[in-house]
Structure 1
Amino acid sequence: MPRVALPHDAKAGPTKSEIRAVTIRKLDLRPDDHFVDVGSCTGAVTIEAARRAGRVTAIERKPDRLDVTRKNLGENEYDAEVSLREAEAPTGLPDDADAMFVGGSRNFEAVLDHAVETGVDRIVMNVSRVEVAGDAIDAFRDRDLLSEVLQMQVNHGYELAGATSFRADNPVYVVVGERGAGGDA
């Protein structure tokens, strides 16, 4: 599968490719799934999902970012039926999703409530701030969703004085949920 092309900028970093790979794997997307990307921004996760799921709904509250999602979708190949919605979640969330990615922390508890009420099977939320990660873990646990928490640190090599050194990206907490998980992650 070709790499995701993101030539259009949303003035907010996309979920990095290494984190996307783990996120998509944890979502376990299938061709008959309806996937929802909450906070699509650049469309990076939307595109990855559209290569695996049959239907994808991308929700973004900022019109300029939704336009970036649209443009980046146009630069990539995928087979899914993709719907873009300008809305602030949980408004605009479909009632028939199988899997969901929560890319931002705004209103995430209401998004999780909607997911529980509508029977979403798999949910992943990526968080970069420690305090929000703790809140997200508690929210997943309180809703009987928490199955796993990962803390990921990616470092990229670069040349320094004729040798290789590494530049670290900020750590990302990947909070993984499944309906009725009841786990003690």
Structure 2
Amino acid sequence: MRFVTTPDATQLTGLSTATLREWTSRRALIPADVPPKGKGSPAGFTWQTVLLLRVAVTLRDRFHLELQPHRTLFASLKTGLRRTSFIALWGKTLALQGGDDWTLVDEAETLQLNNDAVIIRLQTHLEALSVGFALPRPGPSSGQLELFPARSIEQSANAPVVPAARKRQGDPIATIRRRSA
């Protein structure tokens, strides 16, 4: 299981460090998967928890919902997401039907819902998590994983770039060949 620390979680969710700490520790709205060991140590978050935090940010910012009354919904979602693979969520939409009721629906079937629901498309959230956690994206055929998922690589601006060494013609070290027995 892969974990990201608090700085990466803030980047993936768009929350400030203080708000992330408030939501995951103090108010325990969506608890961290690995709590911090002490003051100044980072917490650990799985992709399920980061996805849940991104959904909570969407509910707060776009729909202006108060999140505290929905603690049981977030706990139910976290349990459900733990039983669902990352690749199975591609092409799905989250339908929040009130209270603790929620379902994952294929994007093509969202118009066929019988009850009122808040619809959250998961595609953009999954794309961000795919890069942040180096998780696979679906392949050309449905249900197929990428052979080599892309990993996010950060290069610091002040890191020195070392050119590759060239082999010189008369270099005795370069011309010695070792043989194995």
TM-score range, shorter-chain basis? under 0.3
Structure in which a larger fraction of residues adopt helix: 2
Structure number with the bigger relative contact order (C-alpha 8 A, sep ≥ 6) is: 1
- Give the number of the structure whose alpha-carbon radius of gyration is greater: 2
What TM-score, normalized by structure 1, do the two folds share? 0.27
What TM-score, normalized by structure 2, do the two folds share? 0.28
Structure in which a larger fraction of residues adopt strand: 1
